[in-house]
Amino acid sequence: YLNKIEKGNKLFLEQWKSLSTDLTALDHADASSVKSMGGVVDEEDQDLMKDSPLYHIYHIGAEEISHRLHKMSAKQEGLPGRSIQAIRASLDAGLVHENHRLTNGLVYLTISVAGGPYVGLLGTVVGVMITFAIIAKSGEVNVNSIAPGIASALLATVVGLVVAIPALFIYSYLNSRIKNVVASMQVFIDEFVAKMAEFYRPKNEA
């Protein structure tokens, strides 16, 4: 999933760099043209673009720009500072939504890392308690009789660690990649807002 996201982001950035003055050029009213990025993206790449968080955020910004420019008269061409700040807030909200979508599955790894050792420890403690209860009931301490019980009790701890340790490494690896994706979204938002302030500056501020 992360591989698809990174490929989709790369494809989108290639199209984003080609924009000159109209930031909404990749997301206008023609749905078929939007889907293929003006006919330059094939079907395989379109599937990747659907999963691109950068495109999702761009889509939010493009819609906000088009909506505000449509409401303004010809004399008020451009976007005032308050509109730019409002669009920035929408982009930041989109960033939070995309971040939640990316980290949604990590909760299972977090539970495995945090809960695995404790579940194993619980199994060990219960097993040892049962073993000592058997010893107390029989009144005899026989190594051959208690060794299997102790070994079974310790097996629970081993299983808990076997679950938690790989989950910890996988979580760290995936979390690092997700942080890179989130960082790229933050950089994109800053770049989008900077271009928006430059390209849609009101005429009276030129």
Per-residue pLDDT tens for 62-85? 888 888 877 765 445 678 888 889
H or E element at residue 179: helix 143-199
Q: Would you state the pLDDT for residue 77?
A: 66
- pLDDT reported for residue 149: 79
Q: What is the mean pLDDT of the chain?
A: 82
In Å, how far from its chain's centre is CA 197? 28
Tokens of 40: 């330059």
Amino acid at position 181, single letter: V
On the question of pLDDT at 43 being above 70, the answer is no
- Closest C-alpha among 138, 58, 43 to residue 95: 58
Q: What is the pLDDT of residue 148?
A: 79
Contacts of 11 (CB under 8 A, 6+ apart): 41, 45, 48, 49, 52
Collect all residues with Cβ–Cβ distance below 8 Å to 133 and sequence separation of at least 6: none
pTM exceeding 0.85: no
Q: What is the pLDDT of residue 30?
A: 47
Average of per-residue pLDDT across 77-95: 88
pLDDT of 174 higher than 90 = yes
- CA neighbor of 83 nearest in space, from 96, 71, 97: 71
Q: Is the dihedral of CA 5, 9, 15, 20 positive or negative?
A: positive
How many helices (H) does the chain have, and how many strands (E)?
7, 0
Do 200 and 69 touch, CB atoms closer than 8 A? yes
Q: What is the mean pLDDT of residues 188-198?
A: 90
Residue 23 has pLDDT above 80, yes or no: no
